[in-house]
Structure 1
Amino acid sequence: MNDLESIAGAIRKARKEAGITQADLADLAGTSERTVRAIETATGNPSLAAVVAIANAVGLRVAAS
């Protein structure tokens, strides 16, 4: 599994554990539901800022390794 898939899986898991929808997460992160969906499926080309905002909204932190 690559880094993008790991991040996608962690965000999806955290969102589901929090009991919120993709639309709810998009509202919390100030982005679109389409962007949330793209990040959770590791598709498209979302900005790093969007990934970080969405991760932060579910209590995750993105750090360089």
Structure 2
Amino acid sequence: METVSVLGLEIRRARKDAGLTQGELADLAEVSERTVRALETATGNPSLRAVASVLNVLGLKLGVGR
């Protein structure tokens, strides 16, 4: 799904802009580093809680609907 790939790119960009490693972001979001990697590469099936936690740490919001 294209939207998931775009979200992954935005998460990676925001993480790098914040000067965080994947491990640091994982610690702050209370998820595994593997989950952060899965979000950034649009692989796996992370929970909505994990997605929300990572977005919250990075100050991003998930746009829903049109």
TM-score (norm 1): 0.93
What residue identity is the alignment partner of 2:17?
E
Runs of 4+ in 1 over 4 A off after TM superposition: none
The one-letter code of the counterpart of 1:9 is L
- Residue 55 of structure 2 is matched in structure 1 by 55
| Residue equivalent to 1:39 | 39
- Deviation of 1:14 after TM superposition, in Å, equals 0.1
Post-superposition Cα deviations, 1:32-60, rounded to whole Å, max 9, x if no partner, equal 00000000000001111111110111110
Distance 1:52 1:6 in 2: 16
Structure 1, unmatched stretches of 5+, are none
Tell me the matched-pair count.
65
Where do 5+ consecutive residues of structure 2 fail to align?
none
How much is the aligned-residue C-alpha RMSD, in angstroms?
1.1
**TM-score scaled to structure 2, two decimals?**
0.92
Return the alpha-carbon distance in structure 2 between the equivalents of residues 12 and 32 of structure 1: 15
